[in-house]
Amino acid sequence: MAPVKMDSPDDTVLSDGVGEEQRASGVLKGLECIAPLVRSVEETLEPIPTAVQGTIPSWIHGNLLRNGPGKFEFGNTHYNHWFDGMALLHQFKIQAGEVTYRSRFLQSDSYRKNSEKDRIMVSEFGTLALPDPCQNLFQRFLSRFEMIKPTDNASVSFVKYKGDYYVSTETNLMHKVDPETLASIEKVDWSKFVAVNGATAHPHCDPDGTVYNMGNSYGSKGALYNIVRVPPEKKDSTDSLQGATVLCSIMPANKSHPSYYHSFAMSENYVVFIEQPIKMDLLKIVTCKLRGKGLSEGIYWDPKQDTVFHLVDKKTGQASSVRYHTKAISTFHQINAFEEDGFLMLDMCCSEDGQAINNYLIQNLRKSGDALDQVYNEMTRVFPRRFVLPLGVTSNTPSNQNLNTRPDSLATCLKTGKDKVLCQHEDLHGDDLLDYGGLEFPQINYGQNNTRPYRYFYGCGFRHLVGDSLLKMDLKDKSLKVWQQQGFYPSEPVFVPSPDAVDEDQGVILSVVLTPSQDKGTFLLVLDAQTFEELGRANVPVNIPYGFHGTFNPTA
């Protein structure tokens, strides 16, 4: 199926005149400067109306909640990395076909301390806070020997535990927030409930409300990867993570150089941890303050190592003795995982290297001309892939022959030794995805199809350093539908099912679209998820930076 044009032919761009040679090589020239998308903005504390064009379906009742960095400097000090900016929470309230917008900076300890001194007082992922100039020389010298304290600048996503909304990053600190006012209610520390030093901003939820997450712990003997389970029941109104337990702990291949991970996968019966060759040098991280370097300096890519999939039984907490290996790849976001016919299908957005995390410096995002083109062209594209993991591998399983018996599947899996299976992926896309720079920020109809067989997923195309198109992939024939307009940069798509939905893709896609060339050129886009045609947009009269993740909070 050819890409579908979603608006008038004059407005929607599905080809930007890039030559076939550039398409084949993936090299682009003349990228638009997107510096306005990574500039500090003011918060909008009270709801303001938006101007609706087209039609917002009247059945949509709720809040699109978004999270991401919104302030990149304090006084004369500025952040180095995109992940460092202060969390700005956004709410698009949709009701009766109308939309209002509000935003609020998360009142984290980091934000308060920085604001009080008008300088960066708390270190972030890529930025080391300098010693307090009010201290004497000896005090400043001693401060370099202190451990960096974890930030509570929860700027990555909105997550849900026991019916409450939290904003999260990757440290042990989250904030419970009111989805109606965006006000911070309570700071919650994972380490007060379970022995972990952090947790991902991408937990998974079972139908009964049980939530699974992962976090590392660090001790005298090195690091452990921990799978954590949070029960669905709330004992009283003050309950947060009470009852959380470590389901399973996995030992890293190298305890002093564990893998960095942004997320994990989950099927009906298994948690899937992906141990990838993005490594953390714990000695460098522990001594970063002494060396005057940011935490990010301790993260590196080691392409000589395999990526390894670990399966943990959700009922017993036992890790499978079988390790599933593939070549060195990196992944930030998984699409879905499900079990069928004795196999576990693991669908992920993958890259051939893991250096992207160090490329998202603010100075890179603000470049223009040839310098911007160079940053983009040196980065490896991300594509959706499927790995097929055989579940019944035993000592009697034949070696060195493809165990994947699924019809029409090109993935392979070979037992190559005791408790070792070598896997080769199959692509979940056709050649036309190359035209859109690959796919990231994947989303599915989570409520209906997470951990189950599914047909559709959505994401952003990346012919820039941030998303510049919205994509819908049909796994039945690996065909694409596309929404793209020149100079417009959409956020992660969020699928909202219609109340009477029968089909998997019956509903809408919500995305916040930014326009760097136009002041206050932001709008909430609403697409028909089946046709990918635009239904309406709500123009927001404020500037919004490009953010990370969000969720839809349905209301009555």
The residue among 533, 485, 508, 471 whose CA lies nearest residue 6 is 533
H-helix or E-strand containing 188?
Answer: strand 184-189
Q: Average pLDDT for residues 347-363, to the nearest whole number?
A: 94
Q: Which helix (H) or strand (E) holds 552?
A: strand 550-554
Tell me: pLDDT of 24 over 60.
no
Q: How far is CA 243 from CA 27, 35, 263, 413, in A?
A: 51, 44, 22, 38
The mean pLDDT of 206-229, rounded to a whole number, is 94
pLDDT tens digits along 278-327: 999 999 998 988 888 889 999 999 999 999 999 999 999 999 999 999 99
What's the pLDDT at 146? 57
pLDDT digits 0-9 by tens, 425-470: 999 999 999 999 999 999 999 999 999 999 999 999 999 999 999 9
Closest CA relative to residue 486, chosen from 8, 1, 2: 8
Q: Which pair of tokens denotes residue 108?
A: 């984290």
- Mean pLDDT of all residues in the chain? 93
Per-residue tokens: 538: 């709500």
| Coil, helix or strand at residue 526 | strand
User: Is residue 112 helix, strand or coil?
Assistant: helix
Rounded to a whole number, what is the largest CA-CA distance in the chain?
71
Q: Band the pLDDT of 548: cuts 50, 70, 90.
A: very high
For position 127, what pLDDT does the model report? Answer: 96
> What is the per-residue pLDDT across 467-494, written as a single tens digit (0 to 9) for each?
999 999 999 999 999 999 999 999 999 9
Residue 328 has pLDDT above 70, yes or no: yes
Total-model pTM: 0.93
How many Cβ atoms sit within 10 Å of the Cβ of residue 202? Answer: 21
Q: Which of 113, 62, 111, 109 is nearest to 88 (CA)?
A: 111
DSSP-assigned letters across all residues of 271-310: EEEEE-SEEE-HHHHHTHHHHT--GGGGEEE-TTSPEEEE
- For residue 327, give every residue at least 6 positions away whose Cβ sits within 8 Å of its Cβ, in sequence order, or none: 306, 307
For position 147, what pLDDT does the model report?
Answer: 58
Identify the H or E element spanning 53: strand 51-54
**Is it the case that residue 241 has pLDDT exceeding 80?**
yes
The closest of 307, 300, 309 to 328, measured between CA atoms, is: 307
Q: How far apart are CA 188 and CA 174, in angstroms?
A: 5
The pLDDT assigned to 351 comes to 97
State yes or no: pLDDT of 12 exceeds 50: no
Out of 220-229, 319-328, 341-350, pick the least confident: 220-229
pLDDT in tens, 65-122: 999 999 999 999 999 999 999 999 999 999 999 999 999 999 999 999 999 999 999 9
The confidence score (pLDDT) of residue 220 equals 78
Q: What is the 3-state secondary structure (H, E, C) of 75-89?
A: CCEECCEHHHCEEEE
Q: What is the pLDDT of residues 114-169, one digit of tens each?
A: 999 999 999 999 999 976 656 555 444 444 445 578 999 999 999 999 999 999 99
How would you label 263-278 residue by residue, b for 16+ Cβ within 10 Å and e otherwise? bbbbbeebbbbbbbbb
**Pairwise CA distance, residues 496 & 459, whole Å:** 14
